[in-house]
Amino acid sequence: MIVRPRPHWLRMLFVWRGSVLNRILPQLLVTTSLSVVVVVIHGELLQWKVTLTAVPFSLMGVALAVFLGFRISASYERYWEARRLWGQMLTAGRSAARQALTFTRADARPFVLGVAAFAHAVRDQLRGRDGQQELRRLLPEALVNELASSRFPPVRILSWLAQWVRARHESGEMTPILAARMDQSLTVLGDALGGCERIASTPLPFTYSVILHRTVYLYCFMLPFGLLDSIGFMTPLMVAFVAYTFFALEALSDEIEEPFGTLPNDLPLDAMAITIETSLREMLGETELPAAAEAVDFVLT
């Protein structure tokens, strides 16, 4: 996620980090170079004049803008739902920790740290990486060893938390009403995990992405022939501007379509997992808390 103060309007024109320009620069250079070649040869291919007007490009441009707008909207909906699910995870985790610390006579520290470990495990599963080191400082050694062979560590941690609640209830350290309330909080955590897994495993239809990708490139490659007769040597400049807009929108939609990655515009799962752990450790009364995640070159991961 890009986190930076909004720069002055003039400086905004030259912002590089987070602008996806680095991803589309090769395509932009190819399109602009093609425009220069078209101007030099006066729109002729093998002594044959390619006669195109700006009218079909105007109509096609409107349709393409609508398609890109739909793609951006669909991608951002996935992005925002993912952020909302992590917000639910934070709220439910705090509620479960508060209930365990306030209304039980048992030592609730293992449970609270288990909730923090759940957040880290969800992040690691979504990003496809091993988080054993962080889990070892939060969970019992026996449980960590079980997680090493588990395909879904967050589900196993959630089951362990439920078993902790059941054990406290059976020992008389927790009332039936409190046990039911805490189980509801754990259910919310499970729902958030399921929602994240659904987003991660169900991308937007590939065929739609292919059609949009081909249409954008074909439009930008043919545009110089449609503009040459009307604006002449200004064609490369106009083509570069239009190509930048379409290429950038497509690249941005690709980034936020998968919100759990590590690209600059993806969600900062590391920072959010640390925030959840820090919040829960404060509820335990600890003062030595994990260092807050810091942005590197305005990018928070």
Where are the domains positioned within the chain?
21-283
Say yes or no to pLDDT of 8 above 70.
no
Output the pLDDT for position 209: 87
Q: What is the pLDDT of residue 47?
A: 59
Percent of the chain residues topping a pLDDT of 90 = 50
The residue among 26, 47, 55 whose CA lies nearest residue 243 is 26
What's the pLDDT score for residue 110?
94
287 SS3 class: coil
**Own/partner pairs, 140-148, CB within 8 angstroms, 24+ separation:** 140/110, 147/121
Q: What per-residue confidence (pLDDT) applies to 296? A: 75
Query: Which residues face 2 on adjacent strands?
Result: 299
pLDDT interval class at 38 (50, 70, 90): confident
Kindly tell me if the per-residue pLDDT of 213 is higher than 60.
yes
Query: Quick one: residue 180, left, alpha or beta (phi over 0 = left, psi -120 to 50 = alpha)?
Result: alpha
Cβ pair 71, 60 in contact under 8 A: no
Q: E-strand spans in 60-195? A: none
> Binning pLDDT at 50, 70 and 90, where does residue 293 land?
confident
CA distance 261 to 241: 29
125-150: average pLDDT: 89
Taking only the tens place, the pLDDT of each residue in 79-110 is 999 999 999 999 999 999 999 999 887 789 99
What is the mean pLDDT of the segment spanning 118-128?
95
Average pLDDT over residues 50-67: 79
Q: What's the rounded Cα separation, in Å, for the pair 235 and 36?
A: 8
Return d(Cα 259, Cα 198) in angstroms, integer: 12
- The number of CA neighbours under 13 Å toward the Cβ of 267 is 25
* Dist CA 67 CA 246 (whole Å): 11
Give Cβ neighbours of residue 184 (< 8 Å, ≥ 6 apart): none
Per-residue pLDDT for 216 more than 60? yes
Q: Which tokens in the block code for residue 97?
A: 């920790």
- Averaged pLDDT, 213-231: 87
The total of other beta-carbon atoms located within 10 Å of residue 207's CB is 8
Residue 59 has pLDDT above 60, yes or no: yes
What would the mean pLDDT of 119-147 be, rounded to a whole number? 91
Mean of per-residue pLDDT scores for the chain: 88
